[in-house]
Every structure is written in structure tokens, then in C-alpha cells.
Amino acid sequence: MNELERLIDQASEAIISSTLTLALTGAGISVESGIPDFRSAGGLWSRFDPAEYATIEAFRANPEKVWEMLAEMDKVVSAAKPNPAHIALGELERLGYLHYIITQNIDNLHQEGGSRNVIEYHGNSSTLSCLWCGKSYSARDKRGDMPPRCECGKILKPDVVFFGEPIPPDALNRSFQLASSAQVLMVIGTSALVSPANTIPSIAKQNRAKIIEINMERTQLTDSITDIFLQGKAGEVVPALVQAVKKKGGGSPLV
């Protein structure tokens, strides 16, 4: 058994004996589905600086310009399919070992990968709203209309949380509640730099949750609060972890 296999084994035991297991996911879990994260070289974010395009101030000041970025992102996201990491998390939930996913992603790939209990911390790009009159639309119905407009004439905004916008209260409260009582938190593919999502691991740790981190690179969590660091691609490590849980724990959890 190599070092990674030994750590996966240890992580699988923590998951098997936990009664409340959460996963906090970030853009890294969808990189292997073809959606670049904020830190990937090249691609979307080298042409559209998130600090310039993904703020609510930028949207209010110049929605046409921000829609140039949104339209490209929409193209990438709508072509993306769940990868083995999303699918393995869906299976872990079905087996009863994963209770909730809190995702910072807006790409719907967890749901497409079979997960049901998904808390969308930063919203979802499949609906659009009017900041002026409050009317809501399906993004699919508005494709082809660029920038998409409300019947009142104003430009619509996707229901994703831009920098400078509050987290949807339900997602914020539910995540806090769950993190406060979790026994295991898997942190997958997030740099843990975006606030307040990056407070979830420390809230869980205060409750003495075991923190299992899966990332290709070390993050600010790795040497501070992570208990088990599984270094590698999410699309390889997550399925290996789920296999280990199945092998050791059988088809269903102890509780």
C-alpha cells in the first residue's frame, strides 16, 4: 500500500463511522469536466478577470460587458458533463455515507451526477432574475437573447452570487447548522480563499469534525485544519475513496 492508499484507507474509516458527513466542493471538482477554475492557466479566466467581471458593482455599472463573460461561461457550463468525482459523490449519498454537499459551484454537475442533497452556496446559473422588477426566467428560455432582457426591458442577472452580493440566507443558515454538527467534512477542489464559504471548514473543525481535504495542491487549510490530505485529481481520488468505503463498510452505513 502506498502513502496515498494508506491515507484513503484512513479517510474511508472516518466516513464509515460518521453519522453526519458533508462535502464542501469548489471549482476544482469541475475542472475535469472542462470548466476552468479561477486559478487555471489559460481559458476563460485569463480573458475575463473575475475581479473585473464577477462583481455586482460591475454588473450594475455595465451589464452588457459582464454578459460577454457570462455568455462564454454559459457555453462552457452547458457543454460540461459530470466527471467521475461528481458521480462517485452521488453514489456515496445513495449508499447512505454522504448526507449533504455544500457546493460553491453554479454548474449543476452534482445534481447531474446523481446527488440530491445539494446546497448551492453561490446559487445556480439555470435561472435569471430582474434586479428591477423581480421577475424570474429559465436561462434556457432566454438563450439566443443576448444580453437577455426582462419583459420590463432591463437586462437580467443569473441567480449566481457575484462578489459583493450576500449568500442566499437559506444556504448560509443550513450550511452553518450542518457544519456545526458534522463529524466528517470532505473539502474537495477549493482553494478556500473565497469568503464566507471558507469559514465552513473551521466551523466544522470547532465541532471536532474530521477534515478530509482532496486537492491537487496544498491550500491554506492543509497545514492548519486538515486532518487527512489526499493529494491528487478529484476525478481519481474521490472514486478511489468511495471504492474504499464500499469495500470496508459494505453497502450501507452502521447507522
**Contacts to ligand NAD from residues 75-134, by CB under 6 A:** 104-107, 122
In the shown chain, the binding pattern of residues 205 to 224 toward ligand NAD, with x for contact by CB under 6 A and - for none, equals: ----------xxx-x-----
Distance CA 34, CA 71 (A): 16
**Contacts to ligand NAD from residues 177-196, by CB under 6 A:** 189-191, 193-194
Write the DSSP assignment of 144-168 as a string of letters. TSSS-B-TTSPBPEEEE--BTSPPP
Distance CA 172, CA 122 (A): 10
For ligand NAD, the closer CB: 24 or 150:
24
Cell numbers representing residue 188 in the block: 474537495
For ligand NAD, the closer CB: 31 or 241:
31
Active site (annotated) includes residue 122 = yes
Binder of Zn ion out of 130, 186, 203, 212 (CB under 5 A): 130
Helix (H/G/I), strand (E/B), else coil: 85: helix
Least distance to ligand NAD, CB of residue 40, Å? 7
Pairing of strands 136-138, 123-129: antiparallel
User: Shortest CA distance to 122 belongs to which of 201, 76, 175?
Assistant: 175
Cβ-proximal residues to 29 (8 Å cutoff; 6+ apart), any chain = 83, 85, 86, 105, 109, 188, 189, 234, 238
133 binds Zn ion (CB under 5 A): yes
In the shown chain, the binding pattern of residues 19 to 58 toward ligand NAD, with x for contact by CB under 6 A and - for none, equals: -------xxx-xxx--x-xxx-------------------
Cell numbers representing residue 77 in the block: 457550463
Least distance to Zn ion, CB of residue 134, Å? 7
Residue nearest to ligand NAD (CB): 28
Residues forming contacts to ligand NAD in the complex (CB under 6 A) are 26-28, 30-32, 35, 37-39, 104-107, 122, 189-191, 193-194, 215-217, 219, 233-234
Catalytic residues: 122
